[in-house]
Amino acid sequence: MVESELYPLLLQSGFQIPPFSRFALNEPLEIDFYPIALKIESPKIVHKSDVGGVALSIGNADEAHNARTQMINRIREHNIALSPDDGFIATAMIQGEELFAGVVDDPIFGQIILFGKGGVLLELYRDVCYIDIHAGEDEILRALRTTKISKLFEGFRGALPCMEKIVAFIQTLQNFIQTHPDIRECDLNPVIFNPEGLYVVDARIDYHQTIPEPALTPRIRHNFFDNRTVAVIGASNDPNKVGYAVAHNALTFSGKLYLVNVRGGSFEGHTLHSSLRDIDDTIDTAVITIPSEYVLEAIESLIPKGVKNLIIVSAGFKEIGDTRSEERLSALAQQHNLNIIGPNCLGYYESIRNLNLTFGSSAINKGSLALIAQSGAVLSSLMDKASQEGIGFSHILSAGNMADMDFADIITMLSATPECEAISLYAEGIRDGKAFLEAIRRCPKPIRVYKAGKSPQARKAAFSHTGNLSGDYPMFRGLLESVGVKMVDTLEALLYAKSFDNIAIITNAGGPGTILTDTIIERGSGLYSLNERDIEALDAILPSNWSRNNPIDIIGDARSERFEAALRCVDDMENVDMVYLLITPQMMTDTFDIVQLLERPWKKPIFPILLGGAMMEEALRFLQEHSKPCFTTIHEAGAFL
């Protein structure tokens, strides 16, 4: 599309464009908006600059006339014969900050807007944000604020605040795309920003050959989290089999449980039914642990039992290249409105009826956090760590290959489940980004996400692992943050749901206190400021050379009595929302006695950090045996904030 066709389209779509005029090849250049840029327009010339077909900063009619003459000569020198249909376009040169707006049709997220600093700096600084075409105003603002250039729009150094103009521009672009669903790629580059507004100066639009089909509306699903009658298909007495661990963990279920194994017999005192026909009951939920070749058949026989939910632990589907069986799973789910988790997963846990259908840890604490993970190994590690640190869950879901239920479905269901108060998600790749974003938008609970596969090298590894697209990390992070997700940088941070803004540090060492302060600030959390009353209270119980500042350095010779007194003081400070107890091994430090203090009831959450090695071992072991969280490096201690 040449500019004289493009400009009317942009104008009609609500964009501001610079004044322009089109002239036939020999038409007099009558222009009243100098300075201008003059460009050749001819279907024979794609790259105008290459043939000298662009002249900039033309200040008056004489210059324009000369520029045209020279341009025709230059083009002639390139052996291009201009015809009477060709012509020139003159556009007003607009001064201002060069911005960029674009649209890509991402394989995961669909049509997404990119917006940020333009020109050569676009590539150098990559100061762009990502905005979904369905993003509301808040979401647009959150995305814009991740860019540094947005400070200009918010009135940086006396600039006129104009965020609403930028938002309106983005909304115009959203409308434009929604009325052109066949846009494959679009560059509005540059967009010039000045106090009068945003001007689209140049544009390039690529269309799909065919209009993509609209996404299917998501299926109305049964509630997954209401499991009263459960069957374990493949319960096994062989402790090396997954079917053993799942059946064993399932025994704590407070609803009705049926164990099934074609060979019959018994399992830890419970009947092993050799066939589903033997069970004279409906089955809400089944977990399947048998070899993959029998899975589809098992599902067929579960359907007459009224099964609604299936957890397919069995591996051997898409991840080893068998996409056909996996497609049949999806089709069955569609056809019979089943909720299927897996295949190739670690299982499922819900706290409400103490239902542990995983082959992970058997010691799961009840809590209010739902943990979803795409990797069974990540999940089993986190479950193991959580059990050691006394962290509890409302739900644990191993998503596996996501043949049917994907993250969007799971988040949607968790949104409506009162037992779950926060959601943590480990993701490698996702399929339908638009549905994922929409599920998060509708979810009223805090969500944390760790995304693996940030580097190209890792994406290669992830692909060989799951077969899902792993995507562009900055886009993933940007879009998720714009819908309010907290992106975390360590796996372990998924085990914590709360953020803290008024942290107190009690320590016997100034240096490490400084480092922890740095870490807290880097993570975007805040340190509590001691007020005069706080300082008075601490003065009364601490040696005179304490820091009189937070971090509260209670001095290297502090023993458990002083730690206790300081802890009591800080626990009483109304606005402190969390306490780090940062202990270094100094000559007289009785670390073991200090950590015993954590067994007492305190009002605030207290996280001990034991900095050192052998001298800290006994105390560390005490905390682990009493299922208390404990950190051994400052970095780790700050990573969950």
* Contact positions with a copy of itself (CB under 8 A) in 586-615: 586-588, 611-615
Name the nearest CA neighbour of 432 among 474, 488, 471.
471
Residue numbers 353-392 binding a copy of itself by CB under 8 A: 359, 361, 363, 373-378, 380-381, 384-389
- Shortest Å, Cβ 508 to a copy of itself: 7
Residue numbers 147-176 binding a copy of itself by CB under 8 A: 148-149, 151-152, 156-157, 159
Q: Rounded distance, CA 152 to CA 162, Å?
A: 9
Q: Within a 13 Å sphere around the CA of 559, how many CA atoms are in the beta-carbon half?
A: 5
- Give whichever of 510 and 605 is closer to a copy of itself, judged by the CB atom: 510
**524 near a copy of itself, judged by CB under 8 A:** no
How are beta strands 229-233 and 256-260 bridged, if at all? parallel
Residue numbers 13-32 binding a copy of itself by CB under 8 A: none
Q: Which part of the chain contacts a copy of itself (CB under 8 A), choosing from 117-125, 137-145, 265-273, 284-292?
A: 117-125
**DSSP-assigned letter for residue 37:** E
**510 near a copy of itself, judged by CB under 8 A:** yes
- Give whichever of 283 and 346 is closer to a copy of itself, judged by the CB atom: 346
- Shortest Å, Cβ 433 to a copy of itself: 19
**DSSP-assigned letter for residue 255:** S
- Shortest Å, Cβ 58 to a copy of itself: 11
Place of tokens 């979401």: 139
**49 near a copy of itself, judged by CB under 8 A:** no
Q: Rounded distance, CA 641 to CA 637, Å?
A: 8
**123 near a copy of itself, judged by CB under 8 A:** yes
* Cβ-contact 45, 53 below 8 angstroms: yes
How are beta strands 20-24 and 87-92 bridged, if at all? antiparallel
**54 near a copy of itself, judged by CB under 8 A:** no
Three-state SS at 397? strand
DSSP string computed for 214-231: PPPPPPP---TT---EEE
- Give whichever of 302 and 595 is closer to a copy of itself, judged by the CB atom: 595
Residue numbers 419-438 binding a copy of itself by CB under 8 A: 426, 428
Among 39, 440, 517, 640, binds a copy of itself (CB under 8 A): 517
Residue numbers 193-252 binding a copy of itself by CB under 8 A: 240, 242, 245
Q: Rounded distance, CA 319 to CA 344, Å?
A: 8
Among 59, 107, 212, 306, binds a copy of itself (CB under 8 A): 59
- Shortest Å, Cβ 38 to a copy of itself: 17
Place of tokens 């840029």: 37
- Give whichever of 10 and 639 is closer to a copy of itself, judged by the CB atom: 639
- Give whichever of 454 and 568 is closer to a copy of itself, judged by the CB atom: 454
**584 near a copy of itself, judged by CB under 8 A:** yes
**518 near a copy of itself, judged by CB under 8 A:** yes
Q: Rounded distance, CA 60 to CA 410, Å?
A: 64
Residue numbers 262-321 binding a copy of itself by CB under 8 A: 320
* Cβ-contact 236, 249 below 8 angstroms: no
**Angle, CA of 85, 68 and 201, to the nearest 5°:** 80
Name the nearest CA neighbour of 471 among 427, 406, 405.
427
Cα separation values, 299 from 248, 287, 304, 315, Å: 22, 10, 9, 15
Residue numbers 457-496 binding a copy of itself by CB under 8 A: 457-458, 460-462, 464-466, 489-492
